[in-house]
Structure 1
């Protein structure tokens, strides 16, 4: 930092220094402006209304680097001009908030002396208080359990000792909380087991990845009844979402991977104030055929909201034997096909279609959170005319657009699923799109990027079961770590199978 003593006495030299400083400031402003525009462009591409990106998380790394560069420039600016408060005013950063439940460690900084220059004693008249977020790195500890043995001096009737506590891993090292930590790290934080072993080794804990795998497998076995109860509970509903995503699985015989699928069955009645808690259950299947969906949905009857995948058509086949299922389709998928056309050049028909669908979404935003009856009334009054007008528009342009053109295919898609796309107008519980279940699938996709593939079909099934419980915890704002630790402890302590519903995530911590 420059002081007055560092400034030159020569006026010409001083002018040159000021000009150079001003040029540096201009370059900094230009760099900041350029970086901020890039950040805005990335955010618009990832999250803007016109975005149809399936996975906005792919932008995170680029955004982190750009925002880091901006922060570095600001730090440089503040170092050069510590007294200039204009720089801090230009920034509108979200610095976060410190929640009240975090423990506070108080430190009081007293002056070197409490004696006034006049010789009197200083007394407090107030204080400045600041809070900063601190962290203690994850610390492992050892629980030492002692069980004293007692014997009678007057007889030889035997020895008295407290029974050994139940453990998930008999004669093993981990507590149930440790196993829960491994599960959450793997399935929620996307840390493969070998990386977790590396992290533990930095604290001197030498564990093989295979040991961690054993813990995960045993936990998955014990949690399976809870997962089964979750699926049963979801299928009691009369309105669900369904979607599927790839699950590459290693084929031991060939050394290659083959593509299985995770089928997600989700419930979220919050947009219409339904009483059932939200939840999602993933089921692994070796393929994407519609018969897998049919098998998963055994005993379910009601409205199933899906995308346009043809495999779901067997659920509404005329000759199908089983509970009645109605398919509601997804306007987001219909819109996506039109948006893709607008990106290739001038496309007034596609642009008009996007605008018409946007009008439906604006109405839905106003109705979200209302009771089903109110939503239904609003849709009948305001959405029905829009739908009727769009049907006329669709018929008109389909007759004039080449059927094999991209626009023709997009309009054909909307026409093919028209009845299911319009089903939401007649039922206040139905959403306009399938985005609810797509959001629950995103963590599976992130985990897939880190793990690349499951090692076996059984591993994929375990993955699906544990991920189901973790994602259902998230939907119900339940801490997955605390839930899994408490649930595993309850299971090893003999929780009755007849009361397994008490262990579902939305019942934590009331019943666990």
Structure 2
């Protein structure tokens, strides 16, 4: 240990040198204290955030109960693949001509509705009156929540005694040919699974209490077949969304089972929605195995419009290809809100007051035409934006580097051009909250169905949920919409498929 020098024995020059040395040490220690204080503030802020957002168990190991759900997903994928192969093949296959297992008759105690199908004309082409000589009957299982009923379809056989001509009404087209479910039962299964997030094993128990236990494998086959039939409708919905100049985009993680392993990895669902200011309300979900930006570029393809999104790097490549970035003011506000909620920062509180004034103007203009909305924004919001920008620049020079408030300010300042683009166009919203609301069904559902069993099952869920959520956005009951669509879809011309889109659908 070095002993302190005797100041009485030092000459003036040595005293000045010693004073300079001590001042330098004090300055160095001040810098260290300031650095540690900044780091401590940052860590305190992060700890406070983690305490506010508590997550459930994140282990990737599958319990036996979770593994049993995989059976449904495999059966559903197999049914979907078989349906696609059947549509592609033009000649009968061994799978088609092999002996089909005999189906057990539907329970006799279920109420039955008789539906008769007779020819439009009871006269033969030779002019003689036809005589009814018999009939064919088939039964379809229908379901009203809690009650099974049976539709008994009776097709009379009419023959001409003179020329021995046989006439019979054609078999009505169904989504699942020669299957027992009606469109209503299929719609119920789809809505329960993809809107109410009830796994098929739960639906199996519910049906059992109603009097008929439908095997999970059967339910899975129905879901797979319906997914294939509805895919052209989802493709048409995607085209309709991309016809708009302003689109919202957001993404959320979903666990997906890794092929060949009993563990999951993080996949993503992307949501693409029209603006709340658009004349069309629609959202399309896209399921991908990762968060790579290539999935966003693939979906948007050659679209060149204004994309409302957060600061995720995956969107950046699209901006280099001609897409215009629209920043989300809600994300900028959230940085300051978290800081104020954890540290009661006065700087963050001041920023929140500025942004609150901008949102007050948005509430005033939300129901106006785009031109009027643009004019009011220029008159009222633009001055606030200028004052907020100048204030942020001034505050950034005062706060320490690396602090939480510096990061909050940097987030806004680095994206400032994108954040204020909404002032230039009355059809552009101030934030991306609209799309975040549309992606919430996935956040609610993943706690029930736990994971996607495969890439195919994830894409099927994304497709069907696109139709269900778009139906909701247009004020339709998803069950009524899907029931009618599944009834009309088998006979709908491909050129008229757009008539069944949620924003154009009219119940018959």
The TM-score normalised by the length of structure 2 is 0.70
Match of 2:170 in 1: 163
What SS class does the counterpart of residue 217 from structure 1 fall into? helix
State the Cα deviation string for residues 275-305 of structure 1 (Å, max 9, x = none): x311000011111111211111112121110
Match of 2:41 in 1: none
Q: Which of 169, 180, 186 matches 2:193?
A: 186
Which one has the bigger strand percentage? 2
Distance 2:344 2:435 in 1: 33
Check if 1:292 corresponds to 2:295.
yes
Distance 2:413 2:428 in 1: 20
What SS class does the counterpart of residue 153 from structure 2 fall into? coil
**Structure 1 residues 217 and 137: alpha-carbon distance in aligned structure 2, compared to 1, 3 A threshold:** closer
Q: CA RMSD in A?
A: 1.7
Match of 1:198 in 2: 205
Distance 2:216 2:333 in 1: 45
Match of 2:457 in 1: 459
Q: CA deviation at 1:403?
A: 2.6
State the Cα deviation string for residues 339-369 of structure 1 (Å, max 9, x = none): 1111223311011111111111111111111
Q: Is the 8 A contact 1:249 1:453 kept in 2?
A: yes
Match of 1:386 in 2: 384
Q: Which of 261, 270, 287 matches 1:254?
A: 261
Alignment of structure 1 residues 477-488 onto 2, 5 Å: 477-488=475-486
Check if 1:328 corresponds to 2:326.
yes
Distance 1:269 1:342 in 2: 30
State the Cα deviation string for residues 36-59 of structure 1 (Å, max 9, x = none): xxxxxxxxxxxxxxxxx999xxxx
State the Cα deviation string for residues 126-181 of structure 1 (Å, max 9, x = none): xxxxxxxxxx96322111112222334455x2433222222222221100111011
Distance 2:282 2:161 in 1: 59
Q: Is the 8 A contact 2:148 2:211 kept in 1?
A: no
Q: Is the 8 A contact 1:249 1:454 kept in 2?
A: yes
Distance 1:346 1:480 in 2: 44
Match of 2:128 in 1: none
Q: Is the 8 A contact 1:244 1:261 kept in 2?
A: yes
Distance 2:471 2:384 in 1: 38
What SS class does the counterpart of residue 148 from structure 1 fall into? strand
Match of 2:305 in 1: 302
State the Cα deviation string for residues 239-267 of structure 1 (Å, max 9, x = none): 11000111211113111111111110001
Match of 1:315 in 2: 318
Q: Is the 8 A contact 1:235 1:299 kept in 2?
A: no
Distance 2:375 2:166 in 1: 75
Q: Is the 8 A contact 1:478 1:506 kept in 2?
A: no
Q: Is the 8 A contact 2:399 2:405 kept in 1?
A: yes
What SS class does the counterpart of residue 476 from structure 2 fall into? coil
In structure 1, stretches of 5+ residues that fail to align are 1-52, 56-135
Check if 1:406 corresponds to 2:404.
yes
What SS class does the counterpart of residue 327 from structure 1 fall into? strand
Q: Is the 8 A contact 2:251 2:268 kept in 1?
A: yes
Q: CA deviation at 1:227?
A: 0.2
Match of 2:286 in 1: 283
Q: Is the 8 A contact 2:276 2:434 kept in 1?
A: no
Match of 1:148 in 2: 156
Distance 2:259 2:292 in 1: 23
Match of 2:345 in 1: 347
Q: Is the 8 A contact 1:269 1:429 kept in 2?
A: no
Q: Is the 8 A contact 2:200 2:219 kept in 1?
A: yes
Check if 1:498 corresponds to 2:505.
no
Q: CA deviation at 1:190?
A: 1.4
Alignment of structure 1 residues 364-383 onto 2, 5 Å: 364-383=362-381
**Structure 1 residues 137 and 502: alpha-carbon distance in aligned structure 2, compared to 1, 3 A threshold:** closer
Distance 2:170 2:371 in 1: 58
Q: CA deviation at 1:417?
A: 0.9
State the Cα deviation string for residues 468-502 of structure 1 (Å, max 9, x = none): 00000000001211111111121212x11112111
In structure 2, stretches of 5+ residues that fail to align are 1-51, 55-143
Distance 2:193 2:216 in 1: 12
